[in-house]
Every structure is written in C-alpha cells, then in structure tokens.
Amino acid sequence: MRKKTGLSPAKAGAKTAILDVADPSSLTDADWASLNALRRAYERNGSHDFAEELKKLASDPLQYIRVVGAVFPNMIRESIRDVLADKGITHDDLKEIVRKRGKPTRLQ
C-alpha cells in the first residue's frame, strides 16, 4: 500500500529530483552519505533542514565541492572560474601550475 505524503506524485518526484546526481564519478562513500543526508533533510522539512545540512557539509570544503558538483556540475565549474578570474588566474596559468606540479623533479 502506498503511503500518503500529501503531495501529488508529480510534486513528490520534483521534490527529490532536485538532488539527482548528474556526475557521480568523483563521489566517495562519505560523499554519498552526505548527499543522502541532504536528500532526507529536504524531504523531511524542505529548504530549512536542507540549508542546515548544507552548512554542515560546508565544514569540509573539498567534500562540499564534490557533492554539490555532482548535483550541479556546471554551476560549480562556473563558480570556480569566476573566483579564479577575480584573482587574476587564467586558464593558461592553471595549465602551467598543473604542468609544474605534475612531475616532481626528483622523479624526472
């Protein structure tokens, strides 16, 4: 028997669809646990509990980027580009940093 939630099936689906994972490739088990906690918080009490759970997640910036980036990959990429641009770091600068850090001189 189906449990009544007070929401139509379309609205109930839309409520959980907000946290569909677009790119799960970088998620760890801990990230999945955080994502599921966000889902439960949103389903339990909407945006208030969701915001509280998101604040908890923000205490670990790398996990925050992975989890939010898995749900909203374009938004995270654009945000990172904007922050880097504000600091004067270009795409070519990043390539140079990666190239320099890619191979330690002792291993060459």
Task: Report pTM.
Answer: 0.67
CA distances from 42 to 9, 50, 74, 100, 107 (A): 16, 5, 22, 43, 48
Q: Domain map of the chain by residue range?
A: 9-71, 73-108
Taking only the tens place, the pLDDT of each residue in 7-35 is 444 454 445 456 888 888 889 999 999 99
Residues in the chain where the model's pLDDT stays below 70 = 1-18, 103-108
* C-alpha–C-alpha distance, residues 101 and 67, integer Å: 26
